[in-house]
């Protein structure tokens, strides 16, 4: 079985070129659970560098 080659991703140069979605969940101290959808525009995301 061959591993297929993964194409290099082009660099992001502006906003709205790539989005990241993630569901997060937790519980409050009272025990009530909650979920949230985290949405990040990776083209404008800042890092701690």
pTM, full prediction = 0.53
Residue ranges of domains in the chain: 18-49
CA dist 47 and 33 (Å) reads 30
Distance of CA 7 to the CA centre of its chain: 20
Q: Which pLDDT belongs to residue 8?
A: 82
> Strand pairing partners for 21?
39
CB atoms within 10 A of CB 43: 14
Model confidence pLDDT, tens digit, residues 1-49: 567 787 887 888 888 888 899 999 999 999 999 999 999 888 886 655 5
Sequential DSSP letters for 2-47: PPPPPPPPPPP-STTS-EEEEEEEEE-TTS-EEEEEEEEETTT---
């Amino acid at each position: 079985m061959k591993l297929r080659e993964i194409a290099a991703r082009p660099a992001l140069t502006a906003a709205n070129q790539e989005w990241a979605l993630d569901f997060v969940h937790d519980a409050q101290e009272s025990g009530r659970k909650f979920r949230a959808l985290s949405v990040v525009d990776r083209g404008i995301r800042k890092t701690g560098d």
